[in-house]
A and B are shown apart, each in its own frame.
Chain A
Amino acid sequence: MFGLNQKDKSTLIVVAALTLLAPFILNPFPEGSALAQFNAGYPDLMQRFVIFGIFAIGFNILFGLTGYLSFGHAAFLGVGSYSAVWMFKLVGMNVLPAITLSVIVAGLFALLIGFVSLRRSGIYFSILTLAFAQMSFNLAYSVLTPITNGETGLQLTLNDPRVLGQSATADGSIPVTNLLPGLEMRSTYVLDAGPWLFQFNLGYYLCALLLLVAFYVSIRIFRSPFGMMLRAVKSNQQRMNYTGLNTRPYTLAAFVISGMYAGLAGGLMASMDPLAGAERMQWTASGEVVLMTILGGAGTLIGPVLGAGFIKYFENIFSKINDNVLHGWFAILPDGIEDFLVFVVHPFIGKGWHLTLGILFMLVVIYLPGGLVEGGQRIGKYFKRGSDDAQSNDASTKPAE
C-alpha cells in the first residue's frame, strides 16, 4: 500500500489515527472537572498542532536530511500567509486556490533565498537565511505596510473586491473562508457525550488531511534516492563531489521543498484565520521551528510533529492557567497547604509559561539527546524488555536509515 514498507506503513497509520481521532484524544478530561484546563481538543489549538506539524516536517526535510540549519524559515510561512490573505481579499474565500498560491509563492521565494544562501554552508548559511528573513520581517513591519498592513497584520475588510465572491455578506459581515460554497472552515460539529464534549471542525480536518499528505510525502522523500543523496550531503560533501554528484541542486531542491511546506503551513494558517501578521516572519518564529525539530528529534520522521505539538501545547495551555485556576485545583486542601502549593506552582504557569518551556528544553536536551523520539524509544524498550520478543525499535520513532 502506498509504496511504503511495513514499518513506514504502520507509522503512517498511527499518525493518521492520532490526527483523525485528535478531537477525542486531546479532550480526555470531562467538562467542568479541574483537569479540563489541560484539554487541548478545541479547533484552534488542534489546527495549530497540525499546521506547525507540517511546518516542522518540511523544516526537517532540509535540516534533518541535509544538516543545513536555516534560521529564516519563518519567512516562507509568512509569505505563504500573505499570499493566501491577498487571495481572499482579491479573488474569493475559497481556500484551495489560496493554499495553492501560498505554496507556489513560498516555493519561489525559497528558490530565490536558497539560491543565494546555499553558496555558503554551516553557520554562514544559517546567518544568511537569518538575514534574509529578518529583512523580510523588518520591511513587512514598516516600509511594506501597503502590502502587509504592518504591525496589525493583513486582514480582510468589507471593501475588498473579491471578484469571484462577495465583498460583504447580506447581513453586512465579511464572508468566511470555505472549501466549497457552504462548507465553511469554521463549521464545527459538536458531539456531546455525557460530561465530555468533542468538537469536530471542518478546518481542522482539512489541515489534518494535508498533514497526512505532507507526512506521507515526507516518508517517500526520506526513503527515496533523493533522500539518500540529501543524507549523503550531510555526511560528506567532498565525497559527493568526487562521486560525480552536484550537491547544489540537491540542497536547493530540499530547501525549496521545505520552503513549500512552510508556505503550505502559512496558507493553512491564513485559511483557518484570515489574518497574516508580520511576527510570523520574525527570527523568533524561525527559531521556534528549529526548536520544535530538535526537541522532537531532528532527522526522524515523527519527531518534528511531536516537537511542534509540545511547544504549542505549552504556549496555549500553560499560559492560560492563572492563580484563580490553581486555587480551584487545590481547593480541597487545607488553606495553608493550598496557599503554599499555589505559591510554589505560581512562577511556572500563566505569565511564567516561558520559564516552564525553557526548563523543559534543557531537561529534554540533557536527558534525551535524540529528542522526544528518544524518550518514546526508551519507553518502548522498557516495555519490550518486559515482554519476550525483544525485537527492533518502534518503527515510528526510529531515525531514518
Chain B
Amino acid sequence: MSNSNFTRRGALKAGALAGAGLSLPTLLRADGGYMNAPTGSSVTLGFNVPQTGPYADEGADELRAFELAVEHLNGGGDGGMMNTFSSKELTGNGILGKKVEYVTGDTQTKSDAARASAKSMIEKDGAVMISGGSSSGVAVAVQGLCQEAGIIFMAGLTHSNDTTGKDKKANGFRHFFNGYMSAAALAPVLKNLYGTDRNAYHLTADYTWGWTQEESIAAATEAMGWNTVNKVRTPLAATDFSSYIAPVLNSGADVLVLNHYGGNMVNSLTNAVQFGLRDKMVNGKNFEIVVPLYSRLMAKGAGANVKGIHGSTNWHWSLQDDASKAFVKSFGTKYGFPPSQAAHTCYVQTLLYADAAQRAGTFNPCGIVEALEGFEFDGLGNGPTLYRADDHQCFKDVLVVRGKENPTSEFDLLEVVEVTPRAQVEYAPDHPMFAGGALGSCNPGA
C-alpha cells in the first residue's frame, strides 16, 4: 500500500495492504522521490493537443511531430534533428535507456477540457511530461496544473507574453516565441518597408493573448515613430469582421494591424481584403496590413489574401540550415508534406526534454529544470538558443515572413523576409510586460 499526494499510477507498486491510510497524505513513498517515476523499462510522455474544434488541424500536425520525435528517440527513422542537435546525449536508445511511450489527449482548446485530459494522463497513464497545445489560455492552465502535480510541462504553440510572464511556472518551459519578440522583430522591418510616419489601427481579439500582442506591437511601433490611431477589441466569437473593418479607411489610419489568430485571423484578413483596403491610398501612402503572428495553416485558410502581407513566425520549413532541412526531410518523407511551426516547436520540445533528462540522469522534474535552466543549444532550426533560467523562455532568432506572391505548391505560402537576430528580441526578465508573476520552485510532486 502506498499513499501519494497526487495520484500516481503504474509507478506505485510497493508492498500491498499495510500502513497508513487517508489521514497521512504527507507521508509519501514515491519511488525515486518524484511524481510518476518510471519503474519499468519504459517512460510515458503525454501529448495534449487540440483534436476537436477550430485548431484541430494544428493539433493533428503537432501530434505528427510528437510521433516523429518518439520514433527518433527510440532509434527509428532517420534521426531527424537528433543528428544536428548540439547536445549529443541522445543516442536513439529511448531516454535513460527506457523506451519512450506516449499517450494522447484532446484539449478541445478549452482550459477545463485540457486540464481534464492532462490529469488523466498523469493519474491514469503515469505520464512524466505533458506537451502540446495551440493556445495560450490552455498553455497557462495546463502549466499551472503540471506545477501543482509535479510534472514537467513543455509548452506547444503559445504566443502570449503571460505564459513566461505573469503566469510563468518553475515546471513549465516555452520554446515558442512571444508577442514581445514578434514586435521587436517586426518593427525594424516595418520601418524599412513603410517608413516611420505611419498611423496604425489595431484590431485585437478580445482576450489575454490578443491584449499582450497588441500592447507589444503598439509599444514597438510607437517607439519608431508610428502613431496608434485606435485599438479596437473584437469578440472572440466574431466570424464576420465587416463592421470592425469598414470604419478603418475613414479613420486616418494607413496600416491595419490584425492581432488575431486562427479562425479570427483568417476571417478578419479575408474581410479586410474584401473591403479593398490593400488597393487604397491613404495619406498619400499605400494602405498596408500586418499580421504579427503568422502560421502556415492560417495562411492556407486565408488563401490568396495573404500575398504580400508581413508577419512573424517561430520557424518555417523553407529555412535552409542543416537542422531545419533534416527535420523537413524526415517529417516530409513520413507524412508527405512539410511540417508547420507548431509541429516544429513540439518536436523540438520533446527532444529538449529527452536531452535534459538524459543529462540530468533522472526524470525528476527538479533535475530536468536544473538541466534546462540556462541551457545553451544549437542545431534545432533556430540557430543558437538559450533557455533562460529566469523565466523558462527560449531566446532565439525570430523570422519575419511575408505571404508569397507566386506559391509553387499548397504549402509554399510564406517566404522568409528576414531572420531577426536573437540579440534584437531579448528583454530583461523584469520587463513590465512580463512582470507580476513568480516562477516559484520546482515541484517534484513528492
- Touch between chains A and B, by CB atoms below 8 Å: yes
- Interface, chain A (partner B; CB < 8 A): 31, 39, 42-45, 48, 138, 141-143, 145, 149-153, 155-159, 168, 171-174, 176, 182-184, 186-193, 197, 199-202, 273, 275, 277, 279-280, 315-316, 319-320, 322, 324, 350-351, 353-354
Chain A: CB-nearest residue to B236: A141
Chain A: CB-nearest residue to B57: A351
**B282 beta carbon closer than 8 Å to chain A:** no
Which residues of B from 95 to 122 have beta carbons under 8 Å from A? 102-106, 110-113, 115-117, 119-121
> Bound complex: CA of A312 vs CA of B208, how far in Å?
29
Q: A44-B123, A351-B60 are in contact. Are A320 and B26 (CB under 8 A)?
A: no
**B206 beta carbon closer than 8 Å to chain A:** yes
Partner of A351, one of B16, B106, B110: B106
Do A192 and B14 touch (CB < 8 A)? yes
Residues of A within 8 A of B209 (CB): 151
Do A42 and B437 touch (CB < 8 A)? no
In the assembled complex, the CB of A358 is this many whole angstroms from the nearest CB of chain B, namely: 11
**B3 beta carbon closer than 8 Å to chain A:** yes
**B191 beta carbon closer than 8 Å to chain A:** no
Which residues of B from 344 to 373 have beta carbons under 8 Å from A? none
Partner of B103, one of A31, A176, A315, A320: A320
Q: A138-B235, A192-B14, A279-B111 are in contact. Are A187 and B5 (CB under 8 A)?
A: yes
Which residues of B from 199 to 246 have beta carbons under 8 Å from A? 206-209, 233, 235-237
Residues of B within 8 A of A149 (CB): 208
> Bound complex: CA of A22 vs CA of B110, how far in Å?
27
Do A186 and B208 touch (CB < 8 A)? no
Do A316 and B117 touch (CB < 8 A)? yes
Partner of B145, one of A173, A273, A353: A273
- Residue pairs across A and B with CB atoms within 8 Å: the count is 191
Stretch at the interface among B136-144, B308-316, B326-334: B136-144
Q: A151-B137, A277-B112 are in contact. Are A189 and B1 (CB under 8 A)?
A: yes
Residues of B within 8 A of A152 (CB): 111, 136-137, 140-141, 162, 167, 208
Q: A45-B120, A145-B208, A173-B147 are in contact. Are A186 and B5 (CB under 8 A)?
A: yes
Q: A152-B141, A152-B167, A182-B26 are in contact. Are A320 and B105 (CB under 8 A)?
A: yes
Q: A279-B111, A351-B52 are in contact. Are A191 and B17 (CB under 8 A)?
A: yes
Task: A151-B236, A174-B148, A189-B1 are known; give 14 further A-B pairs, CB within 8 A.
Answer: A42-B7, A152-B141, A153-B111, A188-B4, A191-B1, A197-B9, A197-B10, A202-B22, A273-B115, A279-B110, A279-B113, A316-B116, A320-B106, A350-B106
Which residues of B from 54 to 101 have beta carbons under 8 Å from A? 56, 59-60, 63, 67
Residues of A within 8 A of B396 (CB): none
**B51 beta carbon closer than 8 Å to chain A:** yes
Do A353 and B52 touch (CB < 8 A)? yes
In the assembled complex, the CB of A52 is this many whole angstroms from the nearest CB of chain B, namely: 11
> Bound complex: CA of A191 vs CA of B116, how far in Å?
23
Residues of B within 8 A of A354 (CB): 52
Do A273 and B6 touch (CB < 8 A)? no
Partner of A319, one of B3, B51, B63: B51
In the assembled complex, the CB of B444 is this many whole angstroms from the nearest CB of chain A, namely: 10
Q: Which of B111, B141, B236 has the most CB of A within 10 A?
A: B111
> Bound complex: CA of A42 vs CA of B13, how far in Å?
16
> Bound complex: CA of A351 vs CA of B61, how far in Å?
12
Q: Give 8 CB contacts A-B under 8 Å.
A: A44-B120, A45-B124, A151-B207, A152-B208, A190-B1, A199-B9, A202-B25, A279-B111
**B21 beta carbon closer than 8 Å to chain A:** yes
Chain A: CB-nearest residue to B59: A351
In the assembled complex, the CB of B408 is this many whole angstroms from the nearest CB of chain A, namely: 30
Q: A142-B206, A173-B147 are in contact. Are A186 and B6 (CB under 8 A)?
A: yes
> Bound complex: CA of A277 vs CA of B110, how far in Å?
8
**B320 beta carbon closer than 8 Å to chain A:** no
Do B120 and A183 touch (CB < 8 A)? no
Please give me the 3 A-B residue pairs with the lowest Cβ-Cβ distance, nearest first.
A187-B25, A351-B51, A277-B111
Residues of B within 8 A of A143 (CB): 206
Do B1 and A192 touch (CB < 8 A)? yes
Residues of A within 8 A of B22 (CB): 183, 187, 189, 200, 202
> Bound complex: CA of A31 vs CA of B207, how far in Å?
42
**B12 beta carbon closer than 8 Å to chain A:** yes
Do B137 and A187 touch (CB < 8 A)? no
Interface residues on B, range: 35 or more
Residues of A within 8 A of B26 (CB): 182
**B8 beta carbon closer than 8 Å to chain A:** yes
- Interface, chain B (partner A; CB < 8 A): 1-10, 12-14, 16-17, 21-23, 25-26, 51-52, 56, 59-60, 63, 67, 102-106, 110-113, 115-117, 119-121, 123-124, 135-137, 140-141, 144-145, 147-148, 162, 167, 206-209, 233, 235-237, 437-438, 440-441, 443
In the assembled complex, the CB of A388 is this many whole angstroms from the nearest CB of chain B, namely: 43
> Bound complex: CA of A214 vs CA of B105, how far in Å?
31
Do B5 and A315 touch (CB < 8 A)? no
Partner of A324, one of B3, B102, B124, B208: B102
Chain A: CB-nearest residue to B438: A158
> Bound complex: CA of A303 vs CA of B113, how far in Å?
24
Chain A: CB-nearest residue to B70: A324
Q: Which of B7, B60, B141, B144 has the most CB of A within 10 A?
A: B7
In the assembled complex, the CB of A31 is this many whole angstroms from the nearest CB of chain B, namely: 7
Do A320 and B104 touch (CB < 8 A)? yes
In the assembled complex, the CB of A193 is this many whole angstroms from the nearest CB of chain B, namely: 7
In the assembled complex, the CB of A223 is this many whole angstroms from the nearest CB of chain B, namely: 35
> Bound complex: CA of A98 vs CA of B208, how far in Å?
27
Q: A142-B207, A158-B438, A275-B115 are in contact. Are A173 and B9 (CB under 8 A)?
A: no
Q: Which of B63, B106, B121, B236 has the most CB of A within 10 A?
A: B106
Q: A44-B123, A142-B206, A173-B147 are in contact. Are A350 and B51 (CB under 8 A)?
A: yes
Q: Which of A141, A143, A183 has the most CB of B within 10 A?
A: A141
Residues of B within 8 A of A320 (CB): 103-106, 117, 120-121
Residues of A within 8 A of B443 (CB): 171, 173
Residues of B within 8 A of A197 (CB): 9-10, 12
Residues of A within 8 A of B103 (CB): 320, 322
Do A142 and B233 touch (CB < 8 A)? yes
Do A319 and B105 touch (CB < 8 A)? yes
Do A159 and B120 touch (CB < 8 A)? no
> Bound complex: CA of A152 vs CA of B110, how far in Å?
9
Chain A: CB-nearest residue to B144: A155
Residues of A within 8 A of B438 (CB): 157-159
Residues of A within 8 A of B8 (CB): 190
Q: A172-B440, A190-B3, A320-B117 are in contact. Are A183 and B25 (CB under 8 A)?
A: yes
> Bound complex: CA of A173 vs CA of B144, how far in Å?
11
> Bound complex: CA of A143 vs CA of B133, how far in Å?
25
Do B116 and A44 touch (CB < 8 A)? yes
> Bound complex: CA of A189 vs CA of B440, how far in Å?
28
Residues of B within 8 A of A277 (CB): 110-112, 137, 141
